[in-house]
Structure formats: structure tokens, C-alpha cells
Amino acid sequence: MTKTRKKALLLAASALSVTGTLGFAQDAQTQAELDALRARVEALESGKSSPANGDFRIGNTVLDVYGYVKADFFYDFDFDQGDTAFVNVIGEPSAATDGTFGATIRQSRIGLRTTTPSGIGDIGGQLELDLFGSGGTAELRVRHANITIGDNWLIGQTWTNFMPLDTYPTSVEFNGPVGIPFARVPQVRYTNSFGTNTSFAVSIEENVSGSNSDDPVLTASAEYNDGTYVARVSGLYGKAQSGNVEVDQTGFTISGSVRPWQGGLFQVNYVNGEALGPYLIGLGDPIVNGLANDVDGYTIEFRQYLSPKWNVGIAYGKEDYDLPTSTGTLSFTELETIHVNAFYKATEDLTLSSEYIYGERNDAPTGRTFDGSRVQLAAQLNF
């Protein structure tokens, strides 16, 4: 049942209650109020509560409040990976455990979108916050804060244009599989289209913090998406710095997905470049011993919708670096993850989910490998 439908039914119930209570009152004011209430119900039923169906309006600006409350419960069997399941801590003696239970609500978030008509097109605004403001505690953090002008311009913070957002694997835990870019950065982006299903975008962005560079990053992307097939490429150029050493930071992604049958989804992402570690889930060092650290990574996901309420999926990810990144007592060049999950849509807004995560990393100097497992359950209420 949609939120609009719920509002309409509540208003209808109120109307019936008022009608019953005032059944013998025939004054014109009461009748006018009832007529107005019925008109409001009809507007809600037809989805015409406002031109943009927002939550409320201030002047000619429509505002839409959105977000979700999410509670995650997890159990790490071998190594304590924290509430965001960082596979690169697997193997570290400080993370070793005989079993650790944890819970977090830090994925919960709230956002506000605004739309204001203007002579240069609709002016949009977005401000979204989650609770990852500091390590281990639930404090507010800005995820998105941006302005859009018409269909072409975006100014502010959102996902990097380098990231293949439309083919990002679905997971219960926060990060998802290794082997894919994941970053939100301040930027100025221009987007346009070649036709109905093909778009391109170029941007000037701030670099991610792990690159330690004050130079801007240039990105470009092109995507075809007709609802059944998705094909996307992107490129990035910037700088990375470590001490007095500065290197070029370059990379590209190739992504694609297909819906081969009813409810099925298969998608892949590939990334390759130099000094790109800070953009990836594994957070490999961009520079090691004065040299740019080359990396390639990929993800593969298959998902099947079993019914309108159930879907299940499996995703594999890998990152492979030329040079080792230290995590304390160990140094990795390879990271791998497997996510197996199921989602149940209990109501239109409430989703229950479960996930098994397997992670593996190596220790490059010794040639040893270490692995760890996690089980995670979650409940998410959208609004």
C-alpha cells in the first residue's frame, strides 16, 4: 500500500468519523469543511497532492524528506572486522577473535530534496546525512550536499563520476565487495545525453583524502541504459602524493549488466589504474617506496527476484595490487570477498535481510593467506 494511499485512507476514515459525529449538524460551515476534506482525499488518491508529489511546500519550492532507519546485527567468526566489514583487517593479531557479536544503527540516514522552478530550469537541492561521523560512535556525517540546475549541472558533494553506481553490487553490510570504486566528493559536473538511452558526464572533483593531493581530479563517463542492458565506461586523471613524491593517478572502469530473464540480473565491473587504491573498497596505498601502486579489480554479481517480496544474490570481488599495503603487522597485495544475501520485503517500507560474508587477504612478504567470515542480519524501514 503506497504512502499516498495510506494518507488517503486515514483522511477518509477521519471524514467518516466526522460525518457520523455530526450527522445531525446541518450548518453550512461543517458541510464546507467536509467537502474540502473529500476533495483532499480525492487529490491524494489521484496522486495530485502537489505538482512534484513532495512532502510539503514553501512558496514555490517543493520539499521531500526521505531516508531510512536501519539496525544491523553481525557476528564475526575469526577476525573482528568492525561495523563496516573491512576485509583488509583480516589476519591482524589485534583483530583476532573466537567470535564477536556487534550491532550498529550507523547506516540509518535522513535526507532532504528540494525543487524550485526557475527560468533556467528546475533548481534542485539535496542534503543527506548518515551516522558515520566518527569511528565507532553514531554521529552525523554529510553524505550528499549538492545543487542541480536543470538536467545538466550538479554543484556540490555526491558520488564521484568515476564510480559505476548503476551496476554497484547489492549488499546488507555497508561497503559491499572489494574491487570497485566507492567515494563521495565535492565536484562540478556537467551531464548531457546522446539520445533516449545514452548519456555522458564530465566533472572536476576534489581528490579523496587517501591520495594526499590538493590538485583537482578530472573524470569523464558515458553510459547506455535501456532498462534491460547497461554499458558504462569512465576515466579519471589526478595526482597522488606521499611525502615529497608525487605521481600521476589514472584509471578507467568498464561496467555492464543484463536482465536475461524475468527477475534475473547479472552485472560486472572492472577497474584498472595506477595510484587508485584510495578510491577502492580495499584502500590500498597509492604510493609505495616512491612508486605508483598499480591495481586492477573487478566485481561479479548475480541476483534473482523470486517474487515481489523476495530476492537473493551472490557477489564476488577482488583487488590485486603490484605493491604491498601495510595494515599493521601484515601487508597485502590481494583482497577477495564473497557476499551471499537474501532480502524480504515485509511491507512496502520494511525490509528484512540476511547475509553471509567471506573475506580473504594475503601477506605479501610471507606468502601466507588469511580468511574470515561474518553473518549479518538487518531490518530497514524506509520513509
Instruction: Give the residue among 295, 310, 383, 370 at the shortest CA–CA distance from 90.
Output: 370
Question: Per mean pLDDT, which range of 19-23, 92-96, 277-281 is the poorest?
Answer: 19-23
Per-residue pLDDT at 301 exceeds 70 = yes
What pLDDT, on a 0 to 100 scale, did the predictor assign at position 53?
58
The per-residue b/e assignment along 33-68, b for 16 or more CB within 10 angstroms, e otherwise, is eeeebeebbeebbeeebeebebbeeeeeebbbeebb
pTM confidence score: 0.84
Tens of pLDDT, residues 7-22: 333 333 433 343 343 3
State the Cα angle at 176 between 111 and 261, rounded to 5°: 95
What pLDDT, on a 0 to 100 scale, did the predictor assign at position 133?
86
C-alpha dist (Å) from residue 87 to 57, 258, 286, 315, 361: 45, 28, 18, 15, 7
Which backbone phi and psi does 339 adopt, to 5 degrees?
-115, 125
Instruction: Give the residue among 210, 197, 268, 208 at the shortest CA–CA distance from 236.
Output: 208
Radius of gyration, alpha carbons of the chain: 25
Could you tell me the three cell numbers for 117? 522552478
Is the sign of the CA dihedral 173, 176, 181, 187 positive or negative? Answer: negative
Please tell me the distance from the alpha carbon of residue 68 to that of residue 274, in angstroms, as a whole number.
37
Per-residue pLDDT at 361 exceeds 80 = yes
Per-residue pLDDT at 36 exceeds 50 = no
Tens of pLDDT, residues 233-269: 999 999 999 999 999 999 999 999 999 999 999 999 9
